[in-house]
Amino acid sequence: MALGACVTTQPDTAVVKAPRIAPADAARYGALEDGGFSIPAVDPDEIKPRNVRQQVNDPTGQMPGTLVVDPKHRFLYLVQENGKALRYGVGVGREGLEFSGTATVGTKREWPGWRPTDAMIAREPAKYRPWAGGMAGGAGNPLGARALYLFKDGKDTLYRIHGTTEPWTIGEAVSSGCIRMMNQDVIDLYRRVPDGAKVVVLPV
């Protein structure tokens, strides 16, 4: 069972619903059946238009195939050819819990298992000790439908790019360090990114 510092912490204020996105964009976030599990549609009122998956001019300067996470602006870019990038809205770690630097995609998993790290259990034992033995992958797992595991210098950083069962948290700083995406987006990204891909997580 893989370790992962990837669960929601309670925000200080209620999430304000964003304007409804265009119907063509909403269709990308419809319900899916995947790997024997059901992924519900995302309520269009829970998606800020800026967080919809879209092609943009590449602002990163990185080589094609590189993943770049910009936690300050809450975006992930997959750099493409010809000065373009696919941009995804993401949720990021709270202050003091985030990862930054250069890593690689050490491994990928569909419907990954999860267990809290030892640091998470020590920090909030009542919340995390019940899951010390791990949680099987599935629709209720906090890693969602896919996970890309970030490694640095050949070692697991314990940080992930992963799906979420809480799409309203995209664009927020709420997790215990990981980079979360809507399940529909992480499935799209997973298909495009090979093992060993370079990942750059910018400082906040």
DSSP structure string for 22-35 = PHHHHHTT--EEET
pLDDT at 133 over 60: yes
What's the pLDDT at 18?
A: 46
Domains of the chain: 23-201 (2.40.440.10)
Quickly state the pLDDT bin for 174 (edges 50, 70, 90).
confident
| pLDDT one-digit tens code per residue, 84-107 | 999 999 998 776 556 789 999 999
Q: For the whole model, what pTM was predicted?
A: 0.86
Q: DSSP state, 185?
A: H
What's the pLDDT at 173?
A: 84
Quickly state the pLDDT bin for 1 (edges 50, 70, 90).
very low
- Nearest-CA neighbor of 163 among 138, 188, 136, 183? 183
